[in-house]
Amino acid sequence: MTRVAAVGRSASKAAAAAAANAGALGTWTRARGGAGLNAARAGAGTIAGTADAKMATREMSGKAELPKFEYEVSKLYDTNYLDVPKLPLPEVKDTLKRYLETVRPVASDEEFENTKKLAEDFEAKHAAALQGELQRMNESPGYPYSYIEQFWDDMYLGGRFEIMVGSNPFYALPDEKDPSEMQGTRRAARLASAFVRWWLKVVNGELEADMERDKPCCMYGMGLVFGATRIPGVGRDSLGTNFDRKHIIVMRNHNFYRVDVIDENGDAISAENLEAVLEKVKAEADANPGDVSGDVGLLTGCERDFWAQARERLVKSSETNAATLAEIDDCLFGICLQDVDTSASVADRSDYFLHGRDGSNRWFDKHVIVPTTEGALGVNFDHTFGDGLTWNRMVSEAWADMHGAKPPGNFAPLREPSKTFEGSYKPLTWELSEENKADLKAAHEANIKLAGDVDTAVLDFQDFGKNRVKLMKMSPDAACQMAFQLAYARLHGQNATVYESCAMKSYFHGRTETIRTATAEMGNFIKVFDDASSTDEQKREAVLAAAAMHVNVAKGAKSASGPYQGVDRHMHAMKCVAQKNGLEIDLFKDPMYAKSSKWILSTSNVTAPFIQQFGFGAVVGDGYGLGYLTQADYIMVNITSYKSCAETDSAKMAEAITGVFRDFDKLFQE
């Protein structure tokens, strides 16, 4: 059985496109087809690829011995406590060779020959100087801690697109087995209390090392999870840090509240006491509801320069506004406590967790817990300074704690909460000028247009899961990647460029690398599989060859070396150095450079027992965002595209993926 839930498409795609493109705040590539968001999602968008999913499994297995790990949280960012290796800088010749291999499947013969000549010219004339500068960066004892880090941070913080859909992803956590426990406020309180106690583990120097096989991973990002804050700025945002935070913010009925969750002794509030505080907040917010016209959180869903300028106007108009912003900046995380029912469909739930339908009662510059009235529970993540494995570490421990289960791996249980701290709350107020109100009106209109343009479908494929796929002698991740690409080809009549993220946490300050999954073997599989003249044996050979190559390129990307290494981070870094030095290089102006990194399919696999659903926005206007999980007996795929694009259709994509999965099952019947 397969269930597909879709949010209905707009009656007039032309009208939707006009509305999206006419928005004064909408400047990202969904509307104009440029390369900015393309690049941003390449780093900020997809969460955890094949390597991430495997590591999550190892973390939960409890087999690895944890090394001694003593640290100070304030020094965690700058100190390589676990002596993990630096991210290696690839050789230019190896990157160019691999780049040409990845371009070949999406280029005509003429295009490929031109790109090959440009690559040869680049290597002869420019590569040595650019590589030398990257080498100096890579050898620096301080920031940046790798050749890519400064440029990656610039991309995250310098991106001017709306992070509401353009960057922030969501997790939906599993429903409770006991229906009586499906109470949104209670579940939010339990998760929040566990998050706070996990954070105390971090700040008190008690966090165990993450392990991959028998090697420790870099832990620099753990102190940023709740210790960092994204602050909007014109041209570029900034990060502020504070490791002594003791409160969260709660949003309900367009009102904001500060809730204290850590007492003067450094102990956390219990789930029961936090639930009681949240009920009080709900009662007060219901007695004195605000209006969306005064919901300042709307601004965080907007284009970043607009939000930065609006924030400056807020601060200038009132000291009260400055104080409230400071309280929010300095909180650990947020809780959106609206009475919203998403039981109509999992697609409706996906939309609510991703963008809240209109961006109200949110603060997208913070991680936000999002419960619903029927008891569903999600988390919306700010992607600026963290990736899937970091979030998975936190959520896995919190989820175990919520259910009285043994912690994953060899991790110690979270510390007990205070037995006496009851917590407290206070409303946060705003004093809005007419100019501020005009900003909020514009923000609300822009958010409605953007959220309304997201076309969501959720494929809950119940016929089989990874156990059956393994019997086909395929990696489950490879099977999904093949299904996505063949489905796209069937639906659109051409092959797609595809992005899958690979975690680089085994390196100091490592974040992600791209797995370019559209290989020559993948192209041959697509061609052979739907060729009426192909025999079943020929189809099986093509499938297994593509699956094997997918495993190779995934491993190569993770290793940062070898014949299947990733190319995107190194190419991006060389391009950035060239731009910094005022060099115009033909290779980076080549249409194939843009085409091969325009991620028509932006994909990410975050399979874990504590995640039920996972999604994010498509990164280009004519593409799809595919967040997926390969569980033992089912496969869940969250699909997004844009209604303003006449060619894409998320529900049809879900149906096409279903068809490929069933074709695989039939082909490999024993």
Q: Rounded to 10 degrees, what is the CA torsion of 622, 625, 630, 635?
A: -60
- The CA angle 299-627-386, to the nearest 5 degrees, is 55
For residues 211 and 59, the answer to whether their CB atoms sit within 8 Å is yes
For residues 468 and 632, the answer to whether their CB atoms sit within 8 Å is no
Among all chains, which residue has been given the structure tokens 């494995």?
A: 389
Kindly provide the residue ranges of all beta strands, DSSP E only, lying in 125-167, ordered along the sequence.
none
Among all chains, which residue has been given the structure tokens 């991309």?
A: 155
Q: Which two tokens stand for residue 291?
A: 């209006």
> What residue type is assigned to position 220 of the chain?
Y
For residues 114 and 528, the answer to whether their CB atoms sit within 8 Å is no
Residues labelled as active-site residues: 383
SS (H, E, C) 339-355: CCCCCCCHHHHHHHHHH
Rg over CA atoms, the chain: 24
For residues 394 and 198, the answer to whether their CB atoms sit within 8 Å is yes
Q: Which helix H or strand E contains 626, and what residues bound it?
A: strand 624-630
**DSSP-H helix ranges across 493-621:** 520-529, 536-559, 568-580, 586-589, 591-596
- The CA angle 469-471-477, to the nearest 5 degrees, is 30
Distance CA 136, CA 15 (A): 52
Strands 613-615 and 624-630: unpaired
Distance CA 643, CA 649 (A): 8
Tally DSSP H helices, then E strands, for the chain. Answer: 24, 19
Within 10 A of 491 (CB to CB), how many other CB atoms are there? 19
Burial class, 633, CB count within 10 angstroms (exposed 0-12 / middle 13-18 / buried 19+) = exposed
Distance CA 22, CA 38 (A): 21
Kindly provide the residue ranges of all beta strands, DSSP E only, lying in 350-492, ordered along the sequence.
368-371, 377-380, 424-428, 454-461
- The CA angle 211-217-221, to the nearest 5 degrees, is 125
**Helix 536-559 and helix 650-667, axial crossing angle in degrees, nearest 10:** 120
Name the 3-class secondary structure at 20.
Answer: helix
